[in-house]
């Protein structure tokens, strides 16, 4: 009797293990491409394609910087395609510099300077937002020690097309930006602190001037020369 | 300013995590109007007004590039073991889009597909290894069933031997087996 039981258990366990292992391997084989897809997404991002102007022969990657003045008209693209494709616009300013100032002092030793800064900040802020006045940004000698890529993204549109499906933050308002924890630790800043970005926006400004000049005559104002913008790095600070 | 953790949420490549600062798309030119560099532009009230009013729309008219995702559920496009099936699905969709937009003005990079091409060898290899493992399991199962049958046959042979020894005839054993 005991021997029969032993044989039954042995055969049952053996068959169970073999069937279970076969099912696991079968599932892994079926899901293999999905596992590799997740791996690929972690390397490239959760988007399937990047559309860019043909003039960029070497092609862009995600940190493509628009230094040739070639743009894609997202509005026109959506119009032509009747909104049937999952597309979202992006802008990137690589080689930007990021810095901060006294607003991020945290030690009690520097409390006096913090209060000094707050008084100065209240005096110089634009009164509508918590952002400083432009003259206080351009007029001061701030340090911009960190090199970054500033990426502009349409949060709601990207949520619609499932680009970064796990992204939980709401759309940012004017003057807000997201930085990663590593950068925040390096600069000793916390949520709500002020950071400054300095970047080259020459091509964008030239395009805006051209756009303005198209309607300047109609609205009765004089045109602006392209030379009003200096070409080169760091001509824009936010 | 807000802080996100050490995650990209699939918005951009992992390697760029430490470099990227993210800002919202539509208010950018409006904010730009308020912080124009000192000089002719910042002194031009009409230009600033123009940016304040039309900045949001203009930012969409002057995109650097467009990000594309496949129709939901996009995982289906990548669910094949054969890379060429994946390629057929993804490039078919991308070609349709480029055909609608015009081949001359725009180009498209399919980065995930490029990565999948690199991984396709691994997918094939993994499939092969798993097939071999399944084959081993099949052989093991056959051996197991053979072994159980042999144990059963040997036990019965012993029992029939005992029965013959105590006087059962050959026809009696055959009758016992069939009835």
Domains in chain B: how many in total? 3
- Kindly tell me the sign of the dihedral angle through the C-alpha atoms of A77, A82, A87, A88: positive
Instruction: Provide the 10 A C-beta neighbour count for residue B5.
Output: 10
Bridge partners for A75 per DSSP: none
Mean pLDDT of chain A: 77
* Both tokens assigned to B52: 């304040």
Q: Which of B81, B109, B137 is the C-terminal boundary of a domain?
A: B109
Please report the pLDDT score of residue A233 as a whole number.
45
φ, ψ of residue A78 in degrees (nearest 5): -65, -35
The secondary element (H helix, E strand) that includes residue A214 is: helix A202-216
| Tokens matching residue B12 | 């951009």
In a domain, B3, yes or no: yes
Q: What are phi and psi of B4, to 5 degrees?
A: -105, 155
pLDDT band for position A57 (50/70/90)?
low
**Which residues, in sequence order, are bridge partners of residue A196?**
A99
Residue B150, in any domain of the structure: yes
Same domain, residue pair B60 and B82: no
Is residue A107 scored above 50 in pLDDT? yes
State residue B155 phi and psi, 5-degree precision. -65, -45
Over residues B97-109, the pLDDT tens digits come to 988 888 777 888 8
* Of A231 and A105, the one with more pLDDT: A231
3 state DSSP class of A163: coil
B173, pLDDT greater than 90: no
Buried b (16+ CB within 10 A) or exposed e, B116-155: beebbeebeebbeebeebbeebeeeeeeeeeebeeeeeee
pLDDT, mean of residues A38-43: 86
Q: Which helix (H) or strand (E) holds A91?
A: strand A86-100
**Which of A129-133, B136-140, B171-175 has the weakest average pLDDT?**
A129-133
- Among A151, A136, A135, A43, CA closest to A95: A151
Burial of B6 (0-12, 13-18, 19+ CB in 10 A): exposed
Chain B: give the shortest CA distance to residue A105, in Å. 15
Whether B87 and B29 share a structural domain: no
Q: pLDDT per residue over B8-64, tens digit each? A: 888 888 777 778 888 888 888 888 888 887 777 788 888 888 888 888 888 888 888
**Cis link prior to B73 (omega < 30° from 0)?**
yes
Cα angle for residues B12, B14, B18 (degrees, 5° grid): 95
Q: Are residues B80 and B56 in the same domain?
A: no
Taking CB atoms and an 8 Å cutoff, what residues of chain A touch B42? 134
How far apart are alpha carbons B157 and B179 in whole angstroms? 18
Q: How far A134 CA sits from the closest chain B CA (Å)?
A: 5
The two structure tokens encoding residue B77? 């496009």
Residue A139: phi and psi, rounded to 5, are -80, -15
Whole-structure pTM value: 0.74
Between CA B25 and CA A153 the distance in angstroms is 5
Is residue B56 located within the same domain as residue B72? no
- For residue B93, what pLDDT is reported? 92
DSSP letter string, B22-62: EEESTTHHHHHHHTPPTTHHHH-HHHHHHHHHHHHHHHHHT
User: If pLDDT is split at 50, 70 and 90, which confidence band does A15 have?
Assistant: confident
Mean predicted lDDT score pLDDT of chain B: 85
B175 located within any domain: yes
Structure tokens at A210: 């051209």
Asked if B35 and B87 sit in the same domain, the reply is no
Chain A residues in contact with B5 by the CB 8 A cut-off are 180-181
Rounded to the nearest 5°, which phi and psi values hold at A107? -85, 150
Is B116 among the domain residues? Answer: no
Within a domain: B115: no
A152-209 residue pLDDT tens: 899 999 999 988 888 888 888 888 888 888 888 888 888 877 888 887 788 888 888 8
**And the tokens for A52?**
């860019």
Nearest CA in chain B to A161: B69
Q: From the list A155, A167, A174, which residue is nearest B30 (CB)? A: A174
B92 pLDDT more than 90: yes
Contacts of A151 by beta carbon, 8 Å cutoff, 6+ apart: A90, A91, A92, B11, B12, B20, B21, B22, B23
Same domain, yes or no, for B35 and B94? no
- Coil, strand or helix: which one is A89? strand
Tell me which of B56, B87, B109 is where a domain ends: B109
The radius of gyration of chain B's CA atoms, rounded to the nearest angstrom, is 36
Q: Does A105 touch chain B (CB under 8 A)?
A: no
The CA distance from B147 to A15, in Å, is 13
Predicted-complex ipTM score: 0.75
Could you list the residue range(s) of the whole structural domain that residue B178 is in?
121-179
> Does B114 map to a domain?
no
A169 touching chain B per CB within 8 A? yes
Q: Are residues B97 and B150 in the same domain?
A: no
Q: Which residues from A are below 8 Å from B130, CB to CB?
A: 25-26, 28-29
Tokens of A29: 């084989």
The tokens of B156 are what?
């019965």
Evaluate if residue A61 carries a pLDDT over 60.
no
B91 and B143 assigned to the same domain: no
A12 to A50, A61, B151: CA distances (angstroms): 54, 56, 15
Asked if residue B155 belongs to a domain, the reply is yes
CB pair distance less than 8 Å for A182 and B63: no
B139 shares its domain with B83? no
Both B8 and B48 in one domain: the answer is yes
Same domain, B4 and B41: yes
β-strand pairing of B2-4 with A177-180: parallel
Q: Within this chain, do residues B51 and B71 fall inside the same structural domain, yes or no?
A: no
Of the three residues B109, B133, B164, the one that is the final residue of a domain is B109
Q: Is the Cβ pair B112, A166 closer than 8 Å?
A: no
Distances (CA, A) of A21 to A13, A31, B33, B136: 12, 15, 64, 11
- Within a domain: B143: yes
Count contacts between A and B (CB, < 8 Å): 398
């Amino acid at each position: 009797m005991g021997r029969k039981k032993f044989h039954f258990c042995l055969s049952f366990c053996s068959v169970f293990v073999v069937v279970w292992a076969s099912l696991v391997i079968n599932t892994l084989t079926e899901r293999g491409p999905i596992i590799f897809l997740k791996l690929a997404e972690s390397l490239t991002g959760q988007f399937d394609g990047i559309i860019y102007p043909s003039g960029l022969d070497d092609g862009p990657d995600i940190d493509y910087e628009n230094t040739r003045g070639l743009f894609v008209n997202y509005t026109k693209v959506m119009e032509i395609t009747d909104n049937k494709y999952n597309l979202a616009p992006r802008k990137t300013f690589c080689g930007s510099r990021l810095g901060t100032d006294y607003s991020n002092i945290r030690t009690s030793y520097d409390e006096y300077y913090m209060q000094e800064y707050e008084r100065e900040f209240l005096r110089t802020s634009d009164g509508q937002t918590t952002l400083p006045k432009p003259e206080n940004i351009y007029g001061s000698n701030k340090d911009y020690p960190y090199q970054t890529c500033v990426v502009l993204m349409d949060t709601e549109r990207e949520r619609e097309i499932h680009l970064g499906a796990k992204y939980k933050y709401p759309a940012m308002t004017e003057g807000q930006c997201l930085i990663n924890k590593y950068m925040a630790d390096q600069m000793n800043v916390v949520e709500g602190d002020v950071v400054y970005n300095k970047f080259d926006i020459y091509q964008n400004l030239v395009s805006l001037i051209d756009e303005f000049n198209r309607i300047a005559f109609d609205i009765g104002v004089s045109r602006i020369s392209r030379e009003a913008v200096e070409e080169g790095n760091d001509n824009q600070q936010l | 300013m807000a802080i996100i953790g050490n995650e990209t949420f699939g918005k951009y490549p992992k390697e760029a995590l430490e470099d990227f600062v993210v800002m919202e798309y539509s208010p950018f030119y409006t904010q730009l109007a308020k912080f124009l560099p000192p000089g002719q532009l910042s002194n031009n009230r009409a230009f600033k007004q123009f940016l304040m009013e039309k900045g949001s729309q203009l930012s969409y008219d002057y995109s650097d590039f467009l990000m594309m995702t496949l129709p939901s559920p996009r995982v289906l496009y990548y669910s094949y073991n054969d890379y060429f099936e994946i390629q057929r699905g993804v490039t078919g969709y991308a070609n349709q889009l480029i055909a609608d937009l015009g081949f001359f003005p725009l180009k498209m990079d399919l980065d995930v597909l490029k990565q999948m091409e690199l991984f396709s060898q691994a997918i094939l290899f993994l499939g092969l290894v798993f097939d071999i493992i399944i084959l081993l399991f099949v052989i093991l199962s056959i051996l197991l069933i053979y072994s159980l049958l042999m144990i059963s046959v040997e036990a019965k042979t012993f029992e029939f031997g005992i029965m013959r020894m105590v006087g059962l005839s050959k026809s009696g054993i055959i009758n016992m087996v069939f009835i």
